[in-house]
Amino acid sequence: MDEKQAVNGEGTLEQKLQHVHSDFVADIWRAWKDNRSESATSIDSEKFSRISVVSLTQVAATTAVDVGMTEEQFLGVCQANFAEAFKRAPRWG
């Protein structure tokens, strides 16, 4: 299956979910990077990064509650994501 099929809602559930996930993450990164570049002269980069983490975790927490995750499940996902990011994520600051 190609990307065009996923956009058109074809393919397996996993392929559709991967497409939604990829688009969502790409949009978040684009917004974060665009604002980081535009705000670089007016906001300390450490403060920008910290407020970004607060904003993104608020969205994640609200979404987790909305889909019925328990606190334990949500924190487990957060811990797993952090562990993976700690190994692989680029460090800009």
3 and 13 inside one domain: yes
Structural domains counted in the chain: 2
Q: What is the pLDDT of residues 4-40, one digit of tens each?
A: 665 666 789 998 889 998 998 999 888 888 887 776 6
Mean pLDDT of all residues in 82-93: 84
Evaluate if residue 61 carries a pLDDT over 70: yes
DSSP secondary structure letters along 59-73: HHHHHHHHTT--HHH
The parent domain of residue 93 ranges over 43-93
9 and 35 inside one domain: yes
> Does residue 16 contact residue 9 with C-beta atoms inside 8 Å?
yes
22 and 66 inside one domain: no
Query: Residue 4 has what pLDDT?
Result: 64
Q: Which residue has the higher pLDDT, 72 or 91?
A: 72
Evaluate if residue 82 carries a pLDDT over 90: yes
